[in-house]
Amino acid sequence: MMDLKFDQTHIWHPYTSLTKPLPVYPVSRAYENKIVLEDGRYLIDGMSSWWAAIHGYNHPELNQAIHSQTEKMSHVMFGGLTHQPAIDLCKKLVELTPAGLDKVFLADSGSISVEVAIKMAVQYWHSEGKPQKSKLLTVRNGYHGDTFAAMSVCDPVNGMHNLFNKVLQKHHFVESPAAGFKQSFTPEAMVEMESRLARYHNEIAAIIIEPIVQGAGGMRFYHPQYLTELKRLCERYDVLLIADEIATGFGRTGKLFACEWANISPDILCLGKALTGGYMTLAATLTTEKVANGICKGQAGVFMHGPTFMGNPLACAVANAAISLLFKNDWALQVKQIENWLNEWLQPLADYPQVDEVRVLGAIGVVELKNPVDMQKIQAHFVDCGVWIRPFGRLVYLMPPYISQRADIKRLAKAIKSWLECPNDKTEG
Ligand code: PMP
C-alpha cells in the first residue's frame, strides 16, 4: 500500500495546502482511457491528465518510441550538439503549424514556452531599436502558466496577483472576448482593445492570448472573428501576437490548431501538453523568420535562453510518435465523434436548476454551475461512479482522450448527471 500519510504531510500537489490537504487517490497504473487505483477500481478518464494524454495511457507505439530512444540515448546537452528526434520533431511542427512559423525553440514545459515567447517579443523590439516596447497586453480570464512572467498575464483575480504584487510586472488587461463561439460577433467587441492599442502601442511588445478557448481561467469559448480582428489590430499598431495553444493545440477544438478557426498565423506560437501525447514534459515556441532575424541582429546576437534539458531526445521521440498517431488515428474524426457524443449527453444537463450553461466545442465539454462545487464531495462522488473528472470552481468539464468511445462519454456524462441529482449538490447549488 502507498504511504498516503507521507504524501499528505510532505508532498505538494497542484494548488493544495499541506496543512489541510484534500484526499488524493493512489494510482497503480493506467492504460487506454482507464486509470487503475491501488485498490483495483478503474476510472474512465475524462481529463486526459489536463489536456495531455490524447491517445490514452500506456500506448504500445508511444512506449516503443521511448524504449528505442532510451537504447540510443536518453539525453545529451543541446548546446553544441543535435540529434535526429529533435530535427524530425521541429520539421513536423514547422509543417503542421500555421504558415510562417518556421523557427522552433524547444522548451521544457508550457509555462517555460510562455516565458520564451515573452522573451522573444521583448528581445525583438530591443533589437529593432524600440526597447520601450516591453509591456504585454492581454485579456481577462486568461491563463498562461505559473512562472512569474506567465503569471503576470494570467487573470489578475484568478491568478491572485495581489499575492505577488511586488514581484509581478504590470501589464495591460482588457475585458475578455464577450461573444461566445456560436453567438453573433459585433465590432464593439474590439473597442476597448483598439483604444488601448491606440494609446499604448509604443510601450506594448505583444498581445498574448489563448486562441478560441480560455482554459484554466474559465473554460470560455469565444468567437473566431475576435481573433481575426485581433490579428488585424496587431498589424495596424505594430504589436506582435503570441498565441498560447498549449491547451488547444493538436486537435482539441476540432481544428489542428485553434488559430485555424480564424485563419490567422500568430507571430509567436506556444505548444505543449498533448505534444508528447501526455508522456513527458516538453513544449515548443515557434516564431517567424522576421522575429528570429530581428532577435539575432540585436545587441546579444543570440536568443537568451537555454535550459539543461532542452530538446530532450526521449521527449522528442515520443512527441514524434504522438504526432504520427494523430494522423494514423484520424484525429479529426475522433474529435468530431466526441463532440457529437458530448452534445448528446451533456446538453440535456442544461435543464437542471443548478446549471448555468452547457457548452461543447470539439472534444471539450463544459457544465458551468451556478455555484462552486464542494471539491472533496464531488471528487468522491465521481470516483464512486467509476470516472475521473476534476472540476474547479463552478466548472465541471470534460476533455477526454481522443480514443474514448461512445459508452465512455455516456458514463462520464451520467456521473455528472447523478451529481446534479444527488442531495449533496442541492446543498451547494
Ligand atoms: N498555457 C495554457 C493555455 C495552459 O493551459 C497551461 C497549463 N494548464 C500552461 C500555459 C502552462 O503549462 P505547464 O503547466 O506545462 O507549465
CATH classification at residue 288: 3.40.640.10
Give mean pLDDT, residues 346-364. Answer: 98
211 lines ligand 1 (CB under 6 A): no
Distance 145 CA to ligand 1 centre (A): 5
Classify residue 429: in a domain, yes or no. Answer: no
313 lines ligand 1 (CB under 6 A): no
215 lines ligand 1 (CB under 6 A): yes
Catalytic-labelled residue, pool 273, 397, 408, 425: 273
* 292 and 354 belong to one structural domain: no
Give mean pLDDT, residues 325-352. Answer: 98
Mean pLDDT of the chain: 96
* 296 and 345 belong to one structural domain: no
Domain C-terminal end among 279, 300, 328: 328
> Residue 336 maps to which CATH number?
3.90.1150.10
Give mean pLDDT, residues 264-273. Answer: 98
Is 20 annotated as catalytic? no
* 38 and 109 belong to one structural domain: no
- Percentage of the residues of the chain whose pLDDT score is greater than 90: 95
Distance 250 CA to ligand 1 centre (A): 14
Domain C-terminal end among 312, 328, 344: 328
> Residue 324 CA to chain centroid, in angstroms?
20
Classify residue 84: in a domain, yes or no. Answer: yes
* 258 and 157 belong to one structural domain: yes
Distance 202 CA to ligand 1 centre (A): 29
* 207 and 347 belong to one structural domain: no
* 149 and 293 belong to one structural domain: yes
Residue closest to 45 by CA, chosen among 414, 383, 418: 383
Determine the pLDDT at residue 304: 95
Is 244 annotated as catalytic? yes
Beta strands 283-287 and 103-107 are antiparallel
- Domain of 41 in residue numbering reads as 4-55+330-420
* 354 and 279 belong to one structural domain: no
Confidence (pTM): 0.97
Asked if pLDDT for residue 423 goes beyond 50, the answer is yes
Ligand 1, pocket-test mutation among 113, 116, 143, 213, most atoms within 8 A of CB = 143
What are the tens digits of pLDDT across the range 306-319? Answer: 999 999 999 999 99
Determine the pLDDT at residue 428: 45
- Percentage of the residues of the chain whose pLDDT score is greater than 70: 98
Classify residue 236: in a domain, yes or no. Answer: yes
Determine the pLDDT at residue 425: 56
CB 189 within 8 A of CB 222: no
47 lines ligand 1 (CB under 6 A): no
Residues 6+ apart with CB under 8 A from 116: 105, 107, 270, 285, 305
Classify residue 427: in a domain, yes or no. Answer: no
145 lines ligand 1 (CB under 6 A): yes
Is 143 annotated as catalytic? yes
Classify residue 425: in a domain, yes or no. Answer: no
pLDDT class for 160, splitting at 50, 70, 90? confident
* 315 and 347 belong to one structural domain: no
pLDDT class for 25, splitting at 50, 70, 90? very high
Classify residue 428: in a domain, yes or no. Answer: no
| Structural domain count of the chain | 2
Domain C-terminal end among 301, 328, 355: 328
* 101 and 188 belong to one structural domain: yes
Give mean pLDDT, residues 97-123. Answer: 98
Sheet arrangement for strand 355-361:
355-361, 364-369, 395-398
pLDDT class for 264, splitting at 50, 70, 90? very high
Give mean pLDDT, residues 1-6. Answer: 96
280 lines ligand 1 (CB under 6 A): no
Q: Which atom of ligand 1 is nearest to the CA of 281?
A: 15
CA nearest ligand 1 atom 13, residue: 110
* 138 and 181 belong to one structural domain: yes
* 290 and 338 belong to one structural domain: no
Q: Which atom of ligand 1 is nearest to the CA of 283?
A: 15
List residues bridging with 30 in a β-sheet. 35
* 39 and 113 belong to one structural domain: no
Distance 199 CA to ligand 1 centre (A): 30
135 lines ligand 1 (CB under 6 A): no
pLDDT class for 424, splitting at 50, 70, 90? low
Classify residue 304: in a domain, yes or no. Answer: yes
Classify residue 243: in a domain, yes or no. Answer: yes
* Cell numbers linked to 233: 489590430
Determine the pLDDT at residue 429: 40
Neighbours of 94 (CB within 10 A): 14
Residue closest to 307 by CA, chosen among 127, 56, 111: 111
